[in-house]
Amino acid sequence: MELTALRWRDDRLELLDQRLLPAETRWLTLQTAAEVAAAIHDMVVRGAPAIGISAAYGVVLAAQGLGDTASADQLTPAVSLLAASRPTAVNLFWALERMQRTMAGLNGTALIDALAREAQRIHEDDRAMNHRMAGFGVPLLPENGRIYTHCNTGALATGGHGTALGVLRSAWAAGRIRGVIAGETRPWMQGSRLTSWELMQDGVPVTLVADSSAGHLMQRGEVQAVIVGADRITANGDTANKIGTYSLAVLARHHGIPFYVAAPLSTIDPALPNGDSIVIEERDGNEVRCIQGMPIAPAEVPVFNPAFDVTPGELITAIITEHGVIHRPDTDTMAAYLATVRDVH
């Protein structure tokens, strides 16, 4: 059975608490939209697609709580609460917009049933699109190469299989690559705690490294490509992803290594012209001062803790989606791609 980070049980959402992995496997049961919003904010669930799926189920829980009085107007506070949980991941807003469109003209039980079907469809669609994305991504990877990845973009971050990590899973299964290098990804350590764990579950050869060793590895010729996910992509191909991604893209360009982004179509936000328009979430300084609650720095030292950075499109070799590949992303190539998929966006 494929690894999963979330389970829908008709009247409750179960989330695998990713803050505790790999030391402990604990499922949390959520029964209100407020609980889902808190789980998203507190990183119980993370990864743009998984955040969007969880938020969709949060709307269902809010509607179930209202029962016969459920209506679009009554659900507005719950939708607003969920939307405020993480400001950078566009999939969150995309999923909530799908849920809001589903509400049109419905009330009570009919509304609840329609929302439940739509949330499950969002979940199932994400899993299927990850497999399609892998089909486009695998041929791009250098044969017999070692591929560097950052953060976690696997089944834990999505509805299943994964985006960038899904490409790597499929590439290993196809005999395309010889292994993966996972950067630890400070401050939440998603690379060390989650990505290395996921790949080991699948028997994919993975080497964990400190984030600061990436340049050294590229200089030694031990990295043949870099592939990462994305939380938001703008109209010109600028991409917001986990902090540290921009540095990898600069290093890859200097060393002549291809740099790929794998993300679903829903991650593209054509309303934003460029990366300067992306709201970058800033998180609590204790995430940097501590590791899993243990202090590693002076308690009062000032901290700047952006959760994401922006990689200019000019540093990206290609963006891989479930509908194809955008080579050399810029305003023109992004517009041409979006024109071909307008009906599904």
Strands 259-262, 225-228: parallel, antiparallel or unpaired by DSSP?
A: parallel
Q: Mind giving me the DSSP string for 25-73? A: --EEEE-SHHHHHHHHHTTSS-SHHHHHHHHHHHHHHHHHHHGGG--HH
Helix or strand run (H / E) with residue 149: strand 145-149
Q: Is the CB of residue 18 less than 8 Å from the CB of residue 66?
A: no
Choose, from 126, 231, 238, 269, the residue flagged as catalytic. 231
101 Cβ contact partners less than 8 Å away, ≥ 6 residues apart: none
| Residue 310 exposed, middle or buried by CB count within 10 Å (0-12, 13-18, 19+) | buried
| Buried-state track 46-57, b at ≥16 Cβ within 10 A, e below 16 | bbbbbbbbbbbb
Strands of the sheet with 6-8, listed across from one edge:
6-8, 13-16, 27-30
231 is catalytic: yes
**Which two tokens mark 138?**
């695998």
- Main-chain dihedrals φ then ψ at residue 269, nearest 5 degrees: -115, 90
Q: Is the CB of residue 195 less than 8 Å from the CB of residue 206?
A: yes
| Catalytic residue annotation | 231
